[in-house]
């Protein structure tokens, strides 16, 4: 029963979390000021005369001029993407602070994601291989939860005593106070 | 005879002794002659001595302004204060290589002196490996990259140091980071020794773990100091720019972190041996890559203070290391069978696998991003940049998953976890997360990603604190006051609770990073005296500039008042410094004032005479937590690393022991009744 309560609580919590995040995402108005939008665009462009700085971060004159252009175009109602394309058409790909998600440079984005997915698959395969090797066939019932509980009961009676002795030995190695105690118990 | 001659002679002698040490230890190990191995150890100490002598002669050359020495002339000048003159020792490529070699020899000496603790069969091979690495650096120092090259005609005054490096951060950040890179050599040497002898027992694991933990702690310090230096010197309001060199320093740190976790699986269950060894080899290879990348100039970076041709030598060395590692692996593969089987994915070992997967995910994504410009250059012949937006989008979610796993992992038991306990232990942290997510929008945090990230932080912090609380409660029931219970708990299970402290530090750091990433505000303003700029509730009133001229440096300082909530908080003085030798590279003195956890960061971007200033103001919320988190992480790492009881047992009248004894004598009856179930409960919650 207790377990079901805890599980229920967690489900409720997760639902609440999802609701809050959805609310924030959908309903809260986007209150981006012009300054913030200018910064957002600028931070996606590279400062060409600096070392490792974006247009938004750099104090160079060229960057100041570019920021003024960004602001002007934003006021004209252009989208952020359009402004970035405007700069890309004038300066080429080197103006972009991160590789564009198209053509050859799409690889920059795809490879890490592909490696992550591949790694996850490999991890699952390895785990499954180990688990199949470890589990006895009878344990492969449909309902995993039931099996868990059943198995725990089983452990209670037989394995636990063994486990306890091992635990005590390990603890005794750590703790002089405990060593004394377990000696008394065993004698 | 100059001091620099002593230096070059010392280097040559050090090389000789290093070769001798390798020969003696290998022959000694093969013929099982301990006297030979002992001589090898003494040779290592001789190498250390001569490298210290070489370093001392370089430092003396700096302090005596021996401008006949090319390295001294290029990296110092008469006008520099003595501490920067001395620290110019590692300000250039040759000196930093000498520093690397010096630190490696010091670590080798520490290993040799404490070698009684390491498994005896491994010692000669560890020594030989360390000296082989040493020889590479010594040969570089003698041939292509010598700091002791003399000029035909001595200069009257030196060129001086790059102004960016004339900062207190410079005194500590580069040496820490170089030492961090170097320190991965010792675990590597242990791994090689274990592969050659085939002895990968628990004793070996304990030794390699402690050395890796030391390397991890040093690298953590180096990274945090680097971030701090960038924040205080570079003037763009941030502390981490995903610069190639910063990334390079992060790689071995990430793989070392992965190793420190997965090695626990090996310790408990005898599994993942191959995997752990590959992590050690990978960490070392990446640290060599890092050392090489800083100097090679193949990837453009803010840190490229010195370019040179030694890149190719490093590339060859790196190739040798990688090939050697692979070869030794193939040779030993049959011996590396796991001792136990895997039981359940929902277990502590499962969570460590997840941890490793995520950490390596970050490593490879970042490595890919760092190398992609080179690949793109080779394939399409067009230059492009992989900047912070890439890393933030790719690594951000992985780090978030890592943070979440950090909360769940410690709640899982070894072998198999009962879902019942798991749900019970999860409910409180989950509640903390929900509370955090609900409260933040009310406080005005409207960014959904920031909300998600903060909620995950709350979850993980909740899970760790709850876990610690359960342990403390059990000990409290056992009869200890809460503070003592906490202290004893940490003292008894150092690895576990030290680890929790590291995790808490990481959560603090994450909160700082999230706060300063999502809620930074920024403003540029051109001001005349009396004018002011408003940002996030702070008002800055500009008063004017002061121009101070000294023989070697000119300092322009802007004066501003900071007002907050209608009250004058203080005066601030952002400034720029022009060093005579680097007049086109003004160094900046950024004014950073901290109000609670929020930094007001003011950078003097430009000025016109004494009555106009262009300032750039950042308000960085929660940045303080980044530094605090870093310190906490380091503290936790030191607790994990701190020597175990072994030594305490030997000393007869150790305080802790006697206190324990009296405690046990004083309450014998109570103990027998309460301590056993209490102990079991304590262990059950762990």
> For A30-59, how does the pLDDT look when each residue is reduced to its tens digit (9 = 90+)?
666 777 788 888 888 888 777 777 888 777
Specify the 3-state DSSP secondary structure of B334. helix
In chain B the first and final C-alpha atoms are separated, in Å, by: 66
What's the gap in Å between the CA of B84 and the closest CA on chain A? Answer: 24
- Which of B234, B342, B656, B681 to probe by mutation at the A interface, max A CB count within 10 Å? B342
* B536 part of contact set with chain A, CB < 8 Å: no
A181:B672 CB<8 A: yes
Structure confidence at residue A134 (pLDDT): 59
A150 located within any domain: yes
A134:B343 CB<8 A: yes
Q: Which residue has the tokens 């972190």?
A: B257
- Which of B274, B379, B517, B679 to probe by mutation at the A interface, max A CB count within 10 Å? B679
In this prediction, residues B542-547 reach a mean pLDDT of: 89
Does residue A117 share a domain with residue A49?
Answer: no
- Distance (Å, rounded) from C-alpha B86 to C-alpha B76? 9
A93:B382 CB<8 A: yes
Q: Which two tokens stand for residue B55?
A: 């370093």
From the list B360, B419, B447, the residue facing A145 with the nearest CB is B419
Q: Among A110-114, A153-157, B232-236, B496-500, which is the least confidently predicted range? A: A153-157
Question: Which contacts qualify for B416-420: CB closer than 8 Å, 24 or more apart?
Answer: B416/B343, B416/B344, B416/B346, B416/B347, B417/B344, B417/B346, B417/B347, B417/B348, B418/A148, B418/A152, B419/A3, B419/A145, B419/A148, B419/B346, B420/A2, B420/A3, B420/A6, B420/A149, B420/A152
Cα atoms in the 13 Å half-sphere on the side-chain side of B36: 16
Q: Which two tokens stand for residue B515?
A: 């706060």
Q: Among A24-28, B226-230, B561-565, which is the least confidently predicted range? A: A24-28
**Which residue on chain A is closest to B446 by alpha carbon?**
A24
Length of chain B: 686
A10:B301 CB<8 A: no
Query: What Å distances lie between residue B60 and B9, B88, B95, B140, CA to CA?
Result: 15, 12, 13, 22
Structure confidence at residue B331 (pLDDT): 84
From the list A44, A96, A176, the residue facing B660 with the nearest CB is A176
Structural domain total, chain A: 3
* A152 part of contact set with chain B, CB < 8 Å: yes
A121 located within any domain: yes
What interhelical angle do B348-380 and B388-408 show, nearest 10?
170
pLDDT digits (tens, 9 = 90+) for B78-102: 888 888 888 888 888 888 899 999 9
Specify the 3-state DSSP secondary structure of A28. coil
Structure confidence at residue A1 (pLDDT): 47
Structure confidence at residue B153 (pLDDT): 85
- Distance (Å, rounded) from C-alpha B365 to C-alpha B391? 8
Task: Report CA B416 to chain centroid distance, whole Å.
Answer: 34
pTM above 0.80, yes or no: yes
**Which residue on chain B is closest to A21 by alpha carbon?**
B448
B384/B264: higher pLDDT: B264
- Distance (Å, rounded) from C-alpha B458 to C-alpha B471? 20
* B320 part of contact set with chain A, CB < 8 Å: no
Task: Report CA B459 to chain centroid distance, whole Å.
Answer: 26
In this prediction, residues B308-333 reach a mean pLDDT of: 84
From the list A14, A25, A59, the residue facing B616 with the nearest CB is A59
**Which residue on chain B is closest to A88 by alpha carbon?**
B384
- Distance (Å, rounded) from C-alpha B623 to C-alpha B271? 40
pLDDT digits (tens, 9 = 90+) for B14-23: 999 999 999 9
Does residue A22 share a domain with residue A71?
Answer: no
* B455 part of contact set with chain A, CB < 8 Å: yes
Does residue A118 share a domain with residue A181?
Answer: yes
| Host H or E run for residue B508 | helix B494-518
DSSP assignment letter at A143: -
Does residue A156 share a domain with residue A120?
Answer: yes
- Distance (Å, rounded) from C-alpha B603 to C-alpha B616? 5
Question: Looking at A46, A66, A98, which one is the last position of a domain?
Answer: A98
* A147 part of contact set with chain B, CB < 8 Å: no
A134:B492 CB<8 A: no
**Which residue on chain B is closest to A96 by alpha carbon?**
B385
Q: Which residue has the tokens 């950078």?
A: B603
With 50 as the cut, is the pLDDT of residue B76 above it? yes
Give contacts of A127 with chain B, Cβ < 8 Å: 342, 345, 350, 353
A9:B345 CB<8 A: no
With 60 as the cut, is the pLDDT of residue B666 above it? no
CATH number of the domain bearing residue A79: 1.10.8.640
Q: Which two tokens stand for residue B586?
A: 């003004």
Q: Which two tokens stand for residue A108?
A: 């920059």
| Percent of chain A surpassing pLDDT 90 | 2
B385:A104 CB<8 A: no
Q: Which residue has the tokens 């150890």?
A: B41
DSSP assignment letter at B333: G
Does residue A44 share a domain with residue A26?
Answer: no
Torsion of CA A75, A77, A80, A84, to 10 degrees: -80
B334-349 burial code (b ≥16 CB/10 A, e <16): eebebeeebbbbbbbb
B342:A134 CB<8 A: yes
B414/B275: higher pLDDT: B275
Of B524, B510, B594, which is closest to residue B235 (Cα–Cα)?
Answer: B524
Counted across chains A and B, CB pairs separated by less than 8 A come out at: 194
What's the gap in Å between the CA of A49 and the closest CA on chain B? Answer: 13
Query: In degrees, to the nearest 5, what angle opens at C-alpha B630 toward C-alphas B82 and B98?
Result: 40
Does residue A24 share a domain with residue A54?
Answer: no
Structure confidence at residue A183 (pLDDT): 53
B614: Cβ–Cβ under 8 A, 6 or more apart, which residues? A59, B524, B525, B526, B527, B604, B605, B606, B607
Does residue A179 share a domain with residue A127?
Answer: yes
Cα atoms in the 13 Å half-sphere on the side-chain side of B526: 7
Q: Which two tokens stand for residue B604?
A: 């003097």
What's the gap in Å between the CA of A120 and the closest CA on chain B? Answer: 7
CB-based contact B385:A44 (threshold 8 Å): no
B394:A185 CB<8 A: no
Task: Report CA B22 to chain centroid distance, whole Å.
Answer: 30
A149 located within any domain: yes
From the list B300, B361, B423, the residue facing A7 with the nearest CB is B423
* B382 part of contact set with chain A, CB < 8 Å: yes
**Which residue on chain A is closest to B358 by alpha carbon?**
A116
pLDDT digits (tens, 9 = 90+) for B603-614: 988 888 888 888
| Residue B536: other Cβ atoms inside 10 A | 17
Does residue A70 share a domain with residue A119?
Answer: no
pLDDT digits (tens, 9 = 90+) for B438-454: 888 888 777 888 889 99
Edge-to-edge strand ranges of the sheet holding B598-607: B521-527, B613-621, B598-607, B591-595
Structure confidence at residue B99 (pLDDT): 93
| Residue A111: other Cβ atoms inside 10 A | 17
In this prediction, residues A84-108 reach a mean pLDDT of: 83
Q: Which two tokens stand for residue B413?
A: 């038991």
A103 located within any domain: no
Q: Which two tokens stand for residue B326?
A: 């692979």
Does residue A38 share a domain with residue A26?
Answer: no
Cross-strand partners of B602:
B591, B617
What's the gap in Å between the CA of B424 and the closest CA on chain A? Answer: 5
A131 located within any domain: yes
From the list A97, A149, A167, the residue facing B385 with the nearest CB is A97
Does residue A15 share a domain with residue A42?
Answer: no
Query: In degrees, to the nearest 5, what angle opens at C-alpha B226 toward C-alphas B220 and B231?
Result: 130
Specify the 3-state DSSP secondary structure of A92. coil
**Which residue on chain B is closest to A133 by alpha carbon?**
B341
Give contacts of B432 with chain A, Cβ < 8 Å: none
In chain A the first and final C-alpha atoms are separated, in Å, by: 40
Domain housing A8: 1-31
Q: Which residue has the tokens 């995790």?
A: B503
Structure confidence at residue B346 (pLDDT): 73
What's the gap in Å between the CA of B371 and the closest CA on chain A? Answer: 10
With 80 as the cut, is the pLDDT of residue B156 above it? yes
Structure confidence at residue A4 (pLDDT): 66
* B369 part of contact set with chain A, CB < 8 Å: yes
What's the gap in Å between the CA of B67 and the closest CA on chain A? Answer: 31
Structure confidence at residue A30 (pLDDT): 60
- Distance (Å, rounded) from C-alpha A108 to C-alpha B367? 11
Residues 8-37 of A with CB under 8 A from B: 9-10, 13-14, 16-17, 20-21, 23-25, 28, 31, 35
Query: What Å distances lie between residue B506 and B291, B317, B455, B527, CA to CA?
Result: 26, 34, 15, 40
Does residue A90 share a domain with residue A42?
Answer: yes
From the list B236, B389, B455, the residue facing A97 with the nearest CB is B389
From the list B235, B241, B679, the residue facing A171 with the nearest CB is B679
A112:B364 CB<8 A: yes
B342:A131 CB<8 A: yes
B342:A59 CB<8 A: no
**Which residue on chain B is closest to A58 by alpha carbon?**
B236
* A52 part of contact set with chain B, CB < 8 Å: yes
CB-based contact B185:B104 (threshold 8 Å): yes
Torsion of CA B235, B237, B240, B244, to 10 degrees: -40
Specify the 3-state DSSP secondary structure of A89. helix
Specify the 3-state DSSP secondary structure of B595. strand
Does residue A50 share a domain with residue A26?
Answer: no
- Which of B299, B363, B427, B603 to probe by mutation at the A interface, max A CB count within 10 Å? B427
A114 located within any domain: yes
DSSP assignment letter at B305: -
What's the gap in Å between the CA of B430 and the closest CA on chain A? Answer: 7
**Which residue on chain A is closest to B455 by alpha carbon?**
A17
In this prediction, residues B375-404 reach a mean pLDDT of: 87
Q: Among A130-134, B176-180, B459-463, B501-505, which is the least confidently predicted range? A: A130-134
| Residue B389: other Cβ atoms inside 10 A | 16
B426:A58 CB<8 A: no
- Which of A33, A45, A98, A170 to probe by mutation at the B interface, max B CB count within 10 Å? A98
| Host H or E run for residue B118 | none
pLDDT digits (tens, 9 = 90+) for B281-316: 999 999 998 888 776 655 655 555 555 567 778 888
The DSSP code sequence of B191-207 is: HHHHHHHT---HHHHHH
In this prediction, residues B607-624 reach a mean pLDDT of: 88
Give contacts of A6 with chain B, Cβ < 8 Å: 420, 423-424, 426-427
CB-based contact B615:B591 (threshold 8 Å): no
Structure confidence at residue B464 (pLDDT): 93
| Residue B53: other Cβ atoms inside 10 A | 17
Structure confidence at residue B633 (pLDDT): 95
Structure confidence at residue B252 (pLDDT): 95
B342:A104 CB<8 A: no
Structure confidence at residue B17 (pLDDT): 96
Question: Looking at A50, A80, A98, which one is the last position of a domain?
Answer: A98
Structure confidence at residue A137 (pLDDT): 44
What's the gap in Å between the CA of A20 and the closest CA on chain B? Answer: 7
Cross-strand partners of B549:
B554
Torsion of CA A12, A15, A17, A20, to 10 degrees: -120
Structure confidence at residue B508 (pLDDT): 96
Question: Looking at A59, A74, A98, which one is the last position of a domain?
Answer: A98
B134: Cβ–Cβ under 8 A, 6 or more apart, which residues? B14, B18, B47, B101, B104, B105, B108
A71: Cβ–Cβ under 8 A, 6 or more apart, which residues? A34, A38
In this prediction, residues B46-54 reach a mean pLDDT of: 96
Structure confidence at residue A41 (pLDDT): 86
């Amino acid at each position: 029963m207790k377990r079901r309560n805890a599980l229920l609580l967690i489900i409720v919590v997760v639902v609440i979390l999802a609701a809050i995040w959805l609310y924030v995402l959908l309903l809260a108005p986007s209150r981006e000021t012009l300054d913030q939008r200018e910064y957002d665009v600028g931070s996606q462009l590279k400062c060409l005369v600096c070392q490792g700085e974006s247009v938004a971060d750099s104090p160079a004159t060229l960057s100041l001029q570019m920021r003024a252009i960004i602001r002007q175009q934003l006021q004209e109602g252009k989208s952020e993407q359009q402004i970035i394309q405007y700069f890309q058409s004038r300066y080429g790909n080197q103006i972009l602070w991160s590789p564009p998600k198209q053509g050859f440079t799409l690889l920059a984005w795809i490879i890490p994601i592909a490696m992550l997915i591949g790694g996850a698959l490999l991890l699952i395969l390895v785990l499954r291989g180990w688990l199949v090797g470890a589990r006895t066939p009878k344990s492969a019932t449909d309902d995993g939860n039931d099996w868990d509980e059943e198995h725990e009961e089983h452990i209670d009676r037989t394995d636990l005593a063994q486990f306890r002795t091992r635990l005590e030995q390990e603890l005794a190695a750590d703790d002089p106070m405990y060593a004394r105690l377990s000696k008394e118990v065993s004698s | 005879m100059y001091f620099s001659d002593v230096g070059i002679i010392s280097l040559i002698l050090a090389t000789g002794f290093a070769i001798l040490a390798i020969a003696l230890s290998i022959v000694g190990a093969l013929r099982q002659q301990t006297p030979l191995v002992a001589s090898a150890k003494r040779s290592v100490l001789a190498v250390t001595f001569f490298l210290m002598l070489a370093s001392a002669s370089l430092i003396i050359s700096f302090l005596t302004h021996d401008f006949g020495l090319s390295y001294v002339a290029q990296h110092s000048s008469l006008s520099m204060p003595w501490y920067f003159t001395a620290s110019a020792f590692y300000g250039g490529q040759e000196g930093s290589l000498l520093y690397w070699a010096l630190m490696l020899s010091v670590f080798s000496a520490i290993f040799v002196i404490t070698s009684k603790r390491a498994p005896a069969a491994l010692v000669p091979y560890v020594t030989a490996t360390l000296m082989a690495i040493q020889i590479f650096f010594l040969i570089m120092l003698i041939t292509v990259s010598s700091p002791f090259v003399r000029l035909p005609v001595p200069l009257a005054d030196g060129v001086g140091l790059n102004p960016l490096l004339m900062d207190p951060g410079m005194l500590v950040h580069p040496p820490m980071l170089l030492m961090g890179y170097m320190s991965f050599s010792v675990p590597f040497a242990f791994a090689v020794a274990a592969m050659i002898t085939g002895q990968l027992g628990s004793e070996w694991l304990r030794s390699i773990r402690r050395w890796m933990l030391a390397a991890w702690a040093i690298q953590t310090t180096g990274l945090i100091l680097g971030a701090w230096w960038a924040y205080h010197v570079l003037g763009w309001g941030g502390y981490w720019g995903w610069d190639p060199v910063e990334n390079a320093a992060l790689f071995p740190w990430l793989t070392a972190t992965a190793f420190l976790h997965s090695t626990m699986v090996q310790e408990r269950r005898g599994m993942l041996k191959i995997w752990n060894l590959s992590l050690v080899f990978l960490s070392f290879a990446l640290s060599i890559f890092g050392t090489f990348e800083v100097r090679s100039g193949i990837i453009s970076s803010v840190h490229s203070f010195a370019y040179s041709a030694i890149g190719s030598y490093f590339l060859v060395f790196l190739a040798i290391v990688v090939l050697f590692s692979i070869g030794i692996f193939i040779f030993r593969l049959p011996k590396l069978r796991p001792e136990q089987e895997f039981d359940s994915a929902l277990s502590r070992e499962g969570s460590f696998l997840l941890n490793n997967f995520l950490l390596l995910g970050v490593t490879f994504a970042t490595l890919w991003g760092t190398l992609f410009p080179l690949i793109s250059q080779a394939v399409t012949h067009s230059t492009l940049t992989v900047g912070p937006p890439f890393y933030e989008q790719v690594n951000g979610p992985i780090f978030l998953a890592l943070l979440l796993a950090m909360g769940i992992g410690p709640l899982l038991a070894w072998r198999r976890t009962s879902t019942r306990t798991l749900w019970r232990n999860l409910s409180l942290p989950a509640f903390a997360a929900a509370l955090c997510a609900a409260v933040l929008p009310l406080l005005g945090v409207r960014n959904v990603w920031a909300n998600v990230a903060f909620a995950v932080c709350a979850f993980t912090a909740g899970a760790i604190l709850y876990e610690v609380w359960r342990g403390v409660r059990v000990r409290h029931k056992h009869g200890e006051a809460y503070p003592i219970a906490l202290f004893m708990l940490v003292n008894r299970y150092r690895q576990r609770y030290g680890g929790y402290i590291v995790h808490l530090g990481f959560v603090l750091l994450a909160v700082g990073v999230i706060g300063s990433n999502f809620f930074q505000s920024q403003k540029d303003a051109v001001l005349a005296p009396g004018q002011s700029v408003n940002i996030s509730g702070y008002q800055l009133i500009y008063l004017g500039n002061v121009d101070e001229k000294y023989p070697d440096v000119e300092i322009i300082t802007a004066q501003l008042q900071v007002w907050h909530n209608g009250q004058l908080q203080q005066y601030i003085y952002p400034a720029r410094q022009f060093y005579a030798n680097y007049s086109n590279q003004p160094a900046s003195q950024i004014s950073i004032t901290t109000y609670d956890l929020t930094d007001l960061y003011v950078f003097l971007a430009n000025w016109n005479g004494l009555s106009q200033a262009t300032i750039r103001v950042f308000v960085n919320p929660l940045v303080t937590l980044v530094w605090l988190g870093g310190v906490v992480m380091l503290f936790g790492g030191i607790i994990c690393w701190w020597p175990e009881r072994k030594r305490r047992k030997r000393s007869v009248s150790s305080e802790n022991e006697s206190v324990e004894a009296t405690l046990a004598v004083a309450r014998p009856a109570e103990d027998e009744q309460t301590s056993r179930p209490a102990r079991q409960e304590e262990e059950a919650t762990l």
